Amino acid sequence: MSAKGAKETIHVFLEEPATLHALAFRYFIVLLIVVTAALVAIEYFHPATYMRHEALLVAIDRAILGTFTIELMLRWYSSPKRGGFFRNPYNVIDLMAVAPGLVGLADATALRTLRAVRLLKLVPEFRYMSLFRFRGTILEKIAPVVLMFVALKLTIWFLENAGLWIEGPSLGNLFTVFGLSIGIVLSLKLGATYQKYLRINEVVLRIRGRLLHLQALLERHSDELDRGRDAVQTWARLFIELFNEKTTNTEKFQSANETLLDFTGSIEKQPGPISVLHSELSGDAAFILGIGRGRTPQAYNDLLHQAVLIYLILIALFIPGALGLIAVAIATHLLYGIYYITLDLDSIIGGEFHLVQVDLSAIEEIARGSVAERTG
């Protein structure tokens, strides 16, 4: 096997586990993480037991560290893009999981306490579960923020163990009240933006139904079948284009709307079902493009963002040790995750986020019919 073929085999084995052996290896890695957790618990909560079996436990710990290090090196070696390997937050977490242990081989007491950081390696294992997909998800969006706060807390934890950090006051009640308040505000904003998303989806389905109904009426009352079908399909195509644009240039869509109106007027000399249907269709489109491009005032978003940021910094500063690390990681994931989801839902049309999207496939089917007619 060539070197290139060997690299590809290693890459598939480690990054895309599908075979029985590859999956077994992933479970083995998870088992080693669990063993690491047990070693950390014994060292911190049962120091006497740890001292009695120190030689054995240290040997196990270094064997696990060596396994994790070799796995990381192989994944880097087999990566198609080595230069961008550590741009993936999961790979950064893997590095953070082994680096303190490698430094700790020098037996510096303060650095040995960072062995618990290796438990972070459990996070990258989630990448192999569909629930924790990374690309194009909220995890990708918030990963830099989570890593920033975890790094901050790790630095503070190091200073705590070195005796260089202030002993914080008991702020349990403050954290509870402050966190509950932020959670309530985020929940209200999430509910409001989700209702906006549901309303837009409902009107999109209504537009689809009215387009099909209008097309059927035009075909029934006009001898120019192609012209009526083409007018409806052009309207649908330009509506989709305007829906996906970040600007609010409505000239082309307005032109298509007038063309459809002129055609319906040529069929119905007096206002009738076709004219009413076109009017309702125009109203639905205006509703979507109006409410969809509406935004929560930036001052409100800024204040909410500042409150979340201050709360997370307080957790990092005043909740000590492993409990503080866990609290920072979970709180950052939840609060920033909800915050970014609300931003995404709020800018569902023409916004900068694309985690949540409105399903336009029903209208796209109508629009594609125009293309099929022209190419047929």
Q: How confident is the model at residue 373 (pLDDT cuts 50, 70, 90)?
A: very low
Which one of 10-14, 84-88, 364-368 scores highest in mean pLDDT? 10-14
Q: What is the pLDDT of residues 54-68, one digit of tens each?
A: 889 888 988 988 999
List the single range of 9-13, 129-133, 143-147, 342-346 with lowest mean pLDDT.
129-133
Specify whether the CB–CB gap between 356 and 348 falls below 8 A: yes
Q: What is the pLDDT of residue 252?
A: 67
Mean pLDDT to the nearest integer, 258-283? 79
Selection from 202, 359, 354 nearest residue 288 by Cα? 202
Specify whether the CB–CB gap between 204 and 311 falls below 8 A: no
Complete domains list, the chain, with CATH = 3-128 (1.20.120.350), 190-295+357-375 (no CATH)
- How far apart CA 189 and CA 184 sit, in angstroms, is 9
What count of other Cβ atoms lies within 10 Å of the Cβ of residue 88? 18
* CA–CA distances in Å: residue 37 to residues 13, 42, 117, 322: 26, 9, 10, 12
Two tokens, residue 68: 């994790």
Q: What is the pLDDT of residue 137?
A: 75
Q: What is the pLDDT of residue 221?
A: 66
pTM given for the model: 0.66
Q: What is the pLDDT of residue 119?
A: 67
Q: What is the pLDDT of residue 70?
A: 94
- How far apart CA 341 and CA 243 sit, in angstroms, is 20
Q: How confident is the model at residue 129 (pLDDT cuts 50, 70, 90)?
A: low
- How far apart CA 189 and CA 343 sit, in angstroms, is 9
pLDDT higher than 80, residue 194:
yes
Q: What is the pLDDT of residue 332?
A: 92
Selection from 168, 129, 221, 197 nearest residue 327 by Cα? 168
Q: How confident is the model at residue 150 (pLDDT cuts 50, 70, 90)?
A: confident
- How far apart CA 313 and CA 175 sit, in angstroms, is 11
In single-letter form, the type of residue at position 273 comes to: P
Which one of 20-24, 40-44, 201-205, 265-269 scores highest in mean pLDDT? 201-205
- Spatial neighbors of 375 by CB under 8 A, at least 6 apart, are none
Residue showing tokens 């059927």: 216
Rounded to the nearest integer, the mean pLDDT of the chain is: 80
pLDDT higher than 90, residue 305:
yes
Q: What is the pLDDT of residue 356?
A: 78
At residue 346's C-alpha, the angle toward residues 342 and 351, to 5°, is 115
* CA–CA distances in Å: residue 303 to residues 149, 187, 265, 267, 282: 19, 15, 51, 55, 37
Specify whether the CB–CB gap between 219 and 228 falls below 8 A: yes
Q: How confident is the model at residue 309 (pLDDT cuts 50, 70, 90)?
A: very high
- How far apart CA 349 and CA 331 sit, in angstroms, is 29
User: What's the number of CA atoms in the CB half-sphere (13 Å) around residue 98?
Assistant: 19
- How far apart CA 53 and CA 43 sit, in angstroms, is 10
- How far apart CA 203 and CA 209 sit, in angstroms, is 10
Residue showing tokens 């099909």: 212
Residue showing tokens 């906006």: 196
What count of other Cβ atoms lies within 10 Å of the Cβ of residue 65? 21
Q: What is the pLDDT of residues 101-123, one digit of tens each?
A: 676 554 545 445 556 666 667 76
Q: What is the pLDDT of residue 306?
A: 93
